[in-house]
Structure 1
Amino acid sequence: METTSRLEAQGTVGDPLAPLAAAPAGMGAQRAVDDYRRASFPWYGLDEAFSGPRWLMQVGAAADGTVQHGALGHGDEPSIRPEAAGAEKERFAAVITVAASPVRRSGDGTGVLDATTVSSAAWLAGSGLLAYTWPAQLDHTLRDDWLDQQTETAFELADDLAGPAWSMLSLPVDGVPTTFHYRESEFGWVLAASTRAGVHIGAYGRGMSAYGLGFSAVQDIGAYV
């Protein structure tokens, strides 16, 4: 699959799941804002119909520092829960923006980076949702193994957007009806679509219905601090 996340395991700032974590407060938050502002593409979040809290997560970058994707949070900042039921009180949605890129040379000239597609956004969203939940019967020592297995499953699902795990859902992006790939799991929901703005959007959440969401380009990233 042509997914930005797998290729960025070689050159992402921090962990390949880095865009899933919330940004730090204080001076760290200002540095996070600066990271977002280095992007050459527009960031997307929930549109103005959403009136709840907004917060920065993190960006993912190539080895040369070029920002390639990142996420913005909306609602309650999620905590890691050992069961889906324990997370029902949380209401949040994370919106991931992935720059649309063709196959290209890596920043350090040592290899080739795959193209990014809507599957890239779907995988980032699917793995993001998993990062906050694990089955109650597992202890912390087994969670890493479970997360590795489930992340591989999320990768395979993202590679088969035409498969039975996905349905289609029309949601507005900048006011234009856009077809999203949509799936639900016991942990929440995942969305992914390509936009006319030249980026791919992924989203995941729980406690907040995906059916009533709308997305728009972020005019002021500072509003998320």
Structure 2
Amino acid sequence: METTSRVGATAPAPEGGQGFASDRRTVDAYLRAPFPWYGLDEAFTGPRWLMQVGMASDGAVEHGSIGHGDTPSVLHEGVTGEPRDKFTVVVTVAAHPSRRTDDGTGLLEATSVSSAAWLAGVGLLSFTWPGQLDHSLRDDWLEQQTETAWALADDLGGPEWSRLSLPVDGVAADFHYRESEFGWVLAGTTEAGVHLGAYGRGMSAYGLGFAAVGDVSAYA
């Protein structure tokens, strides 16, 4: 996929609290980003928290995630009824064309809305566990599902996706949207020069709005 970068795209691990901002270094990484971070707009009044940033091979901040609502816990596949946690995670991805690394020795892939869709899809998977599998087999399952998320992100015009209009900084914007047994995923592009992805469970995507974060350090 030429326009989707996996640079620094490590999905947060739900066990042991990994993937969530726990020290000043993580906050500082968010503050080094040369692009605005996005989260849910002021209509959301619940808890907000930083997760993690992804960096390119040259150390540049490429993307990061901000959580809203309950801290996600692992959902077993096949569980019925209302999920016990309700959350939305917003992924901000720097929008840029392919470019050379700072030392001139390599080429970094371009990012696109597909990049945001893949990161959101993998993020949702990281909080899902097939109940019929033990720990020794989960890595194989996650690898398979990650490749599926990659293929879906590369086909945003395909039948698995629908269109959803949601406000970004108060202006309606189009998003690609899909649902699965694990939750929902959406992705789009903003006028501020970043791509947005989001995923969630227990909170409807249809009533959400997004806005640039004024002070990201307040979410630590």
The answer to whether the superposition gives a TM-score over 0.5 is: yes
1:44 aligned to which of 38, 53, 57: 38
State the alpha-carbon separation in 1 of the partners of residues 5 and 171 from structure 2: 26
Q: Secondary structure at the match of 2:130?
A: coil
Runs of 4+ in 1 over 6 A off after TM superposition: none
Matched, 1:163 2:158: yes
State the alpha-carbon separation in 1 of the partners of residues 105 and 163 from structure 2: 39
2:118 aligned to which of 123, 129, 135: 123
Contact 1:73 1:93 in 2 (8 A): yes
More helix by share: 1
Contact 2:75 2:182 in 1 (8 A): no
% identity of equivalent residues: 66
Match of residue 22 from structure 1: 20
Match of residue 3 from structure 1: 4
> Is there any run of 5+ residues in structure 2 with no aligned partner, and where?
none
Contact 1:100 1:199 in 2 (8 A): yes
Match of residue 211 from structure 2: 216
State the alpha-carbon separation in 1 of the partners of residues 138 and 104 from structure 2: 36
Query: TM-score, normalization: structure 1?
Result: 0.91
Matched, 1:35 2:36: no
Query: TM-score, normalization: structure 2?
Result: 0.93
Distance 1:218 1:84, change over 3 A: farther
Give, in angstroms, the shift of residue 135 of structure 1. Answer: 1.3
Matched, 1:142 2:143: no
- Letter paired with 1:157: L
Distance 1:85 1:181, change over 3 A: same
**CA displacement, residues 102-157 of structure 1 (integer Å, 9 cap, x when unaligned):** 01113443321111000000000001000110211111110000000000000000
Match of residue 190 from structure 2: 195
Contact 2:54 2:62 in 1 (8 A): yes
Match of residue 75 from structure 1: 69
> Is there any run of 5+ residues in structure 1 with no aligned partner, and where?
none
Contact 1:166 1:181 in 2 (8 A): yes
State the alpha-carbon separation in 2 of the partners of residues 4 and 173 from structure 1: 23
Matched, 1:61 2:55: yes
State the alpha-carbon separation in 2 of the partners of residues 59 and 148 from structure 1: 21
1:109 aligned to which of 104, 110, 115: 104
State the alpha-carbon separation in 2 of the partners of residues 201 and 19 from structure 1: 21
State the alpha-carbon separation in 2 of the partners of residues 107 and 153 from structure 1: 32
- Letter paired with 1:22: F
Match of residue 199 from structure 2: 204
Q: Secondary structure at the match of 1:170?
A: strand
Contact 2:56 2:62 in 1 (8 A): yes
Contact 2:12 2:123 in 1 (8 A): no
Match of residue 180 from structure 2: 185
